[in-house]
Amino acid sequence: MVRDLGKLSVEARDSLVGNHAAATGSFPSFLAMTYGLHRFCTTRAIGGPIHAASRATRLPVPSIVLGSNAPFGRRFAVGNLFVQDGRIDFFSKNVWTLSGPRQVFAMAFIHVATRRVFATPATCQPDAVWMKTQANAFLAFTECERLGCACVIRDLDCKYSAQFNRLFTDRGIKVKPVGPRAPNLNAFVDRWIQSFKHEAINHFIVFGLEHFDHIVSEFVAYYHDCRPHQGIGNRLIDAKEGDDPPPAVTSLDQVRCETRLSGLLKHYYRAA
């Protein structure tokens, strides 16, 4: 009925309102109905120009059509500019100590090309001396594992001092802080921290630094040795060269289970 009334002129609607009020004696209820009708008609009247203006000023959507080789090539080139990067971020946890609850901090370094992770020991005071020690440990880790690192991307945390940055720049590694309110620029290490929290640390009441470091080391070992990664073709991060993929069908009698963190993390494998 509202749609039919919207096509009437003002005089016709007024006449219809008077006739309905005289016949039923419910003028206020019908007036409320026409008030809603007026709002509906007004919205439809101004909706067209607003829609046209929004279409005229809308930003163009990037083309992602299959077969568009030029845009794909540009996206591929931009994505591979950061393959040899290292990403750094802090993660923390409230733990119980003899003096009460304390917040401990640790850093995670991830090498994007190989997805290898280096996690530092935890501390209650991440001062400049501790930061320098962990930066040197990460640089030694990259040299030992022969991981090429062209630059290090970090957030805007005030704990990253000029001395910390200089340790990388002296090795020819650029330090690139992300922009403000730009979490996606450091998404690789943030995603690892999320996995660590959801799959490991959030399941424990942690007592002290040693307990925290044990949970971190066990998860890092599981992450490298037992967990396939989609970013590298569903292979293990520490897979050896020449490892054959598992057969399509495996007898359950040959399946074994390896557990970590009291059964929280499980890894199934074939018996030799």
pLDDT for res 63: 44
Indicate the helix (H) or strand (E) that contains 165: helix 162-169
pLDDT for 183 equals: 75
Strands 174-177 and 85-97: unpaired
Where do the H-state alpha helices sit in 9-101?
10-24, 27-57, 69-79
Residue 186: pLDDT over 70:
yes
Domain ranges within the chain, ordered by starting residue: 2-57, 87-256
Q: For 128-168, write each residue's pLDDT tens digit.
A: 999 999 999 999 999 998 888 889 999 999 999 999 999 99
Q: Retrieve residue 267's tokens.
A: 């890894």
As a whole number, mean pLDDT of residues 190-211 equals: 95
- Chain-centre distance of CA 165, in angstroms? 25
What class does CATH assign to 87-256?
Answer: alpha beta
In the block, residue with structure tokens 């963190």: 261
% of the chain with per-residue pLDDT over 90: 44
The Cα–Cα gap between 151 and 217 comes to 25
Give the pLDDT confidence of 74-116 residue by residue, as tens digits.
443 334 444 568 899 999 999 999 999 999 999 999 998 889 9
